[in-house]
Amino acid sequence: MAVIPAPARRAALESLVRRKARAQRIITALRENYPEADCALTYHNAWQLLVATILSAQCTDERVNKVTPGLFRRFRSIKAFAGAGLEEIQEEIRSTGFFRNKARSIQGAARAIIADHNGRVPKGMADLTALPGVGRKTAHVVRGTFFGLPAITVDTHVGRLSRRLGLSRHTDPVKVEGDLEEVLPEADRTYTSHALIWHGRRICGARRPACEACSMIPFCPSAGLF
C-alpha cells in the first residue's frame, strides 16, 4: 500500500482532543506489538549510556554495542576518560565514524562532569545539554532511559513517524518534540519514543513502509483510511 504524501495536511483539521485520542490508540497498538521496547544501546550506568548515545550519532546501535565493551574496559571511569590521551579514545571508537569529534565530545563531557557535577552525570536538561557534544536528543535518552523521567527522543525514526501519523507537521526536532508533548501523556513518553524507533526500523521504513503489515492503518493518515 503506497503512502499518500503530506499526511499532516490531512490531520491539520483534527482537533487537539481528537489527536490526543488517536495518539492513545497509537500507544495501545505500540504496546501490543512492542511490549519490550527499550533503548537498544548496551550500558551499565548513566555515564556509559551517555557515551554510547554520543557514539550513536550517524552510526548504528549494533556497531556502537560492538565498540563500547572494549572502550569501557580500557577506560573504566569518567576520570579515566578525562585524563586519557585524545588519540587513545579515537583509536577505540574509530569505527563509529566522526571519531575525532566524538572523542572530543566524550572527553569534554567527562571533564565537565568532574568539574561541575562532582563526577556524576546530571539529570537536568539544562545541565546535560551544557555538556560538550550533548544535544536534546542525547539528553532525552539519558533522562528517560536511565533516570526514568518523561522524555521524548526525536531521532530520524520518531520524526518521520510523527509526520506520517499526523502527530506533527514539522521537520525541526524541537518542534516535533513540542507537538508530541501536547498529545502524549508523561507516563508514556519515554516508552513511545523507543517503540516508535522499533516500529520505524521494522515496519515503517523511510523508503518503503510496510503498510500491509502495520497495525496502525485504521488511524494513520498516511494510509489514506483516516
Average pLDDT over residues 61-87: 97
**Position 4 pLDDT exceeds 50:** no
What is the spatial distance between Cα 194 and Cα 179, in angstroms, rounded to a whole number?
17
State pLDDT tens for residues 79-91. Answer: 999 999 999 999 9
pTM of the complete model: 0.90
In terms of Cα–Cα distance, which of 226, 219, 221 is closest to 25? 219
Burial (CB count <10 Å: 0-12, 13-18, 19+), residue 115: exposed
Sign of CA dihedral 220, 221, 224, 226: positive
Q: Give the single-character DSSP code of 58.
A: T
Tell me which residues are annotated as active site: 137, 155
> pLDDT tier at 45 (50, 70, 90 boundaries)?
very high
The domains found in the chain, sorted by start residue, are: 7-38+151-223 (1.10.1670.10), 46-146 (1.10.340.30)
